[in-house]
Structure formats: C-alpha cells, structure tokens
C-alpha cells in the first residue's frame, strides 16, 4: 500500500473542493479526483448559473427571502443569511480569477431569472455553460500553485478514523486496483451528490454518494436525507444520464404543454412554469401518470435566438433530431440535487473531529426541503471558502512532507460485471418508482425490503456499496416524515404538518 501525507486532503475536485484547495494556500493540499481532473464533476454540467444579489434592484435580504420560501419552512435562517450575504463577494472572486461571465452591451453582468426568484440575479457564462466556465477557471488557478497536488483516477473507499477523529482515506487506483492510504491533518469531503441512485437523473455516472456513505459508515451524523430535488425539465430522449434543459429557458418565457397542446401549469400555481421546482416536477410527473407526454415550448419566447441564448441545450436537441426553434422539447423530471447529506455546522465541520464537508455531499441546512435554483454553485463557493478558513484556524500548519511510499501487493479491481450492473439497475428502478417524486408508506417499505435484499447479496466493491447506503438512508428518512414538504411528497400524508417543520437527523443503522 502506498502511503502519502499532506496538511489537508480534499476528496473531490468540483467547485467546492477546488475552492477549498485554493483558499488553503500555502498549505500542502492533496486533491483526490475520481476521474481525470475536469471530468465527472456535476459542476461541469451545471447550466443555469450562480445566484447572487448583484443587480441594482436586488439585495441579499430579498435573496434570503426567496431561499427560505423555496426551502418550505425548514431552511436554517442563520445559514441562509451567511449564504446570501457572501454571494456577491464570491462572484467577485471568480471574476478576479478570470471567469468570463456573460455581460450586456453596456458591459454589466447579464443577470438571468429562474423559478422562485423575485429578481434577475443569475450570473451566467456562455448562456448555459456556467459550471463549465467556473470549473475551467478554478482548474487554471489551481495549476499555478505547486503546493496543490492533484491525484487523478483514484476512488476514495473509506475514511481512516481513530477515536472519532478522521485522519484521511483509504483509496483505490481505478486502473490497477492498488490501495493507497492518504493521511492528512484535515480531511474535506467534497464528493458531490447521489443522482446515480435514481433511474432518471441529470447527474454524471460518478455521482454515487461516496462522501455520504463513507461518512455514514464512520459514524458521522446525517441530515435531511429525505429531500431529493427532481429537476422538472430533463431532455427526454432516452439518454442516461439525461441532458438538462436549464430552468433559465423557462425564465425567458418558455411554457410547458402536454401532447394535447394544453398548458397545464397555469391551473396549478400562480407562477406557472416559474413555480418552485418540486411543484413543476410533480405536475409533469402527474401528466405522465395520465399517459401524456410533456414538451417545453420555446418557439415564441426564444425562437431563432435559441442557438445563441442556450447553445448547450440547443446542441443536445439538435443531436437528438429536435430543433427547439420550431419544435417542442420533450422533457421529464429527473433526480438532480440532494438537499441532504453529511450534517455540518456554519463552518462545514462534521460530527467527526478533523472532518469537514462542503458542496452537495454536505447538509448545511440552507436549502431546507427544496433548493432554490442556482444556489448550489453558490453554496459550494461559500462553503468551500468557509471550510478552508476553519481548517486553517483549527489545524495550524507545520511542515509535514511525505511518508515514503511503500507498495504492496495489488488487489483485484472492483468487480463491475453483469451481476453488479443488474443490482444497480434494480436499485435505481425501485428508488425512482418508490422513493421518487411521489411516495407512500407501502412503496417506501417495499424499497427498503429490496435494499436489504441487495445489501445481503452484495459482497462486492464499487459504486453499489455506497449507493445502497444512501438509498437506505433516504428511504428511512422519507418513511419517518409523515407529511409532505418541499421535494418530499407523501400521497398518504399530502399536507404539511407544522409540528414537523424542522430538519431531520439520522445515523446509519446496521441491518438486523
């Protein structure tokens, strides 16, 4: 086993992880990347933008109001204030690093609007390529710091924990299966989400709940696991993952219609297509349950401007034989973002000493039961920065150097054959059907029973192990919440219960 040591180990190389690494300078930082740097990260796929009160008619207070309203009554107000107050400064930092955000003819930031925002406050790049631009900018910045080491194509498997104190991770080289022990004074989980848990998702295949599962197995506290956001408008062309049709398309006036030509959102919510994501996603799902298909009609609102306004979406559509300038875009809801994760405080500290978490793998409490559009990139920026500040304050740096490498026998790479592929497919199907947009006690218990069966049969390594942990935690939390709130909708408890207007916390339990 090869052993290496650093001041701080960042597990994950999306926006949250790279910001943390940059802010930790001049400490010696190791960034563990599951794939090649810049690939496999949800940041690279983020289309909509980053929310910040940058306009003259806007303010952090208004941004906070919108965030809390979308969170359905359980957002942590202290964290919401931190997020919205910090937002403009974090955007300015990206500009200083060279991020090329879209601008008006007058040279001002071109601010877009998305669902549940009362102001135009979405900072975008390339129309619908914001995440790609941010990631590119951060990778270029990281490359200028020799004290940041990027370790590519290595998958973290478990935390090294001694007496409730994290000391790094045990990881595996993807190509050879060789184990690597990476030790650090501070370990930061920034591994992203768990979208691969669901049959239909907009997330990359690498989004397999690694950070959540590792922290859960180590005994860390989890929070808000039942709240999974489904994006209403994923491009329904048979691809897996499903390409995203950014919410900004609806922000520019596109409308949802079924195959009978009926615009159905006006009868469901006063904001119609710009209602909160959970409302729009369930409305589309209900149309599907009635045998209808749904299209996004951008012909009048955007029309000939589509290639310039939304080049990424336009390319996806054209590749699928759809011209959004003159045709409706077929859409369906898909798992997009997890509001739950590893419970952290206002500085990103977990309940394990020397372990921090940021980005989608964490649960700060800011999103409540339903994330406000374009607050995810923002939260990753804000918390990546705050984690770095806290790590530097809590663990003063001393020269650490490297432990001399010691290589031992190779182990077989994780098996990813037909049996595991089928098990993952079964899990994804049951999660979408029973722990998806509409839930009830019968379906949740059926899902848990199937998860237990798969756990009992799973003796393998690889993504299934972590997906099963996350699936069980989400299903258990959903079963325990006897109400409907935000992204969590129970058909057997269709109303919100004010007695349950609070966050949920849990730990991984062993299977009897």
Among 277, 299, 450, 481, which one carries the catalytic annotation? 277
The 3-state secondary structure of 242-301 reads: CCECCCHHHHCCCEEEECCCCECHHHCCCCHHHCCHHHHHHHHHHHHHCCCCEEEECCCC
CA angle, 212 as apex, 208 and 216 as ends, to 5°? 130
* Rounded Cα gap, residues 271 and 277, in angstroms: 11
* Rounded Cα gap, residues 364 and 207, in angstroms: 19
Tell how strand 122-123 and strand 111-112 pair up. antiparallel
Q: What is the phi/psi pair of residue 172, to 5°?
A: -135, 130
DSSP state at residue 334: E
* Rounded Cα gap, residues 335 and 316, in angstroms: 19
Is 268 strand, coil or helix? coil
Compute how many other C-beta atoms are within 10 angstroms of the C-beta atom of residue 277: 26
Query: In terms of C-beta density within 10 A (0-12 exposed, 13-18 middle, 19 or more buried), how is residue 270 classed?
Result: exposed
Residue 277 known to be catalytic? yes
* Rounded Cα gap, residues 459 and 55, in angstroms: 54
Q: What is the phi/psi pair of residue 186, to 5°?
A: -130, 135
What DSSP string runs through 444-496? HHHHHHHHHHHHHH----SHHHHHHHHHHHHHHHHHH--S-BTTB-BTTB-S-
What DSSP string runs through 154-168? EEEEEEEEETTEEEE
Helix (H) or strand (E) holding 369: none
* Rounded Cα gap, residues 202 and 79, in angstroms: 27
Is 292 strand, coil or helix? coil
The size of the chain, in residues, is 512
* Rounded Cα gap, residues 223 and 215, in angstroms: 12
Q: Among all chains, which residue has been given the structure tokens 């615009």?
A: 263
Q: Are the C-beta atoms of residues 128 and 151 closer than 8 Å to each other?
A: no
What's the distance, CA 64 to chain centroid?
20
Residue 504: C-alpha distances to residues 198, 262, 278 (Å): 22, 39, 19
Q: Are the C-beta atoms of residues 208 and 466 closer than 8 Å to each other?
A: yes
Residue 146: C-alpha distances to residues 26, 165, 290, 303, 387 (Å): 9, 28, 58, 48, 21
Q: Which residues pair with 2 in a beta bridge?
A: 180
Write out the catalytic residue numbers: 277
């Amino acid at each position: 086993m090869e052993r290496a040591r650093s001041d701080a180990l960042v597990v994950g190389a999306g926006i949250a992880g790279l910001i943390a690494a940059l802010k930790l300078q001049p400490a010696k930082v190791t960034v563990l990347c599951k794939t090649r740097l810049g690939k496999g990260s949800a940041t690279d796929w983020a289309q909509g933008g980053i929310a910040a009160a940058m306009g003259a008619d806007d303010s952090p207070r208004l941004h906070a109001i919108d965030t809390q309203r979308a969170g359905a009554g359980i957002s942590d107000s202290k964290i919401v204030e931190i997020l919205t107050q910090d937002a403009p400064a974090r955007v300015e930092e990206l500009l200083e690093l060279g991020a090329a955000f879209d601008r008006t003819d007058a040279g001002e930031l071109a601010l877009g609007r998305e669902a549940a925002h009362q102001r135009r406050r979405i900072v975008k790049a390339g129309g619908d390529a914001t995440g790609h631009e941010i990631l590119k900018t951060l990778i270029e910045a990281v490359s200028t710091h020799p004290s940041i080491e990027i370790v590519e194509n290595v998958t973290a498997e478990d935390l090294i924990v001694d007496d409730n104190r994290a000391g790094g991770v045990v990881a595996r080289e993807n190509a050879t299966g060789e184990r690597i022990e990476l030790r650090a004074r501070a370990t930061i989980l920034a591994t992203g989400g768990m979208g691969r848990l669901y049959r239909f998702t907009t997330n990359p295949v690498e989004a397999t709940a690694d950070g959540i599962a590792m922290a859960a197995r180590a005994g860390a506290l989890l929070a808000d696991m039942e709240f999974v956001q489904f994006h209403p408008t994923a491009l329904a062309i048979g691809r897996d993952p499903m390409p995203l049709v950014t919410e900004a398309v609806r922000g520019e006036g596109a409308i949802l219609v079924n195959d009978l030509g009926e615009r159905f959102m006006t009868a469901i919510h006063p904001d119609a297509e710009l209602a909160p994501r959970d409302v729009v996603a369930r409305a589309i799902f209900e149309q599907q349950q009635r045998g209808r298909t749904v299209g996004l009609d951008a012909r009048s609102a955007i029309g000939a401007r589509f290639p310039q306004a939304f080049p990424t979406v336009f390319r996806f559509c054209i590749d699928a034989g759809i011209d959004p300038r003159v045709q409706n875009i077929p859409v369906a809801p898909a798992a997009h973002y997890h509001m739950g994760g590893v419970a952290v405080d206002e500085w990103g500290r977990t309940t394990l000493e020397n372990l921090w978490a940021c980005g989608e793998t964490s649960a700060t409490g800011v999103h409540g039961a339903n994330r406000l559009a374009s607050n995810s990139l923002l939260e990753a920026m804000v918390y990546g920065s705050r984690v770095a500040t806290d790590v530097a304050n809590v663990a003063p740096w001393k020269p650490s150097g490297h432990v001399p490498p010691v290589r031992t026998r190779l182990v077989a790479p994780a098996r990813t054959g037909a049996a595991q592929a089928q098990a993952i497919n079964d899990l994804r199907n049951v999660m979408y059907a029973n722990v998806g947009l509409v839930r009830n006690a019968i379906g949740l218990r059926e899902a848990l029973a199937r998860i237990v069966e798969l756990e009992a049969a799973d003796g393998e390594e690889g993504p299934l192990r972590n997906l099963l942990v996350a699936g069980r935690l989400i299903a258990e939390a959903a079963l325990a919440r006897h109400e409907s709130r935000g992204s969590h909708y129970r058909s057997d408890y269709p109303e919100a219960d004010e007695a349950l207007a609070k966050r949920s916390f849990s730990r991984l339990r062993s299977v009897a």
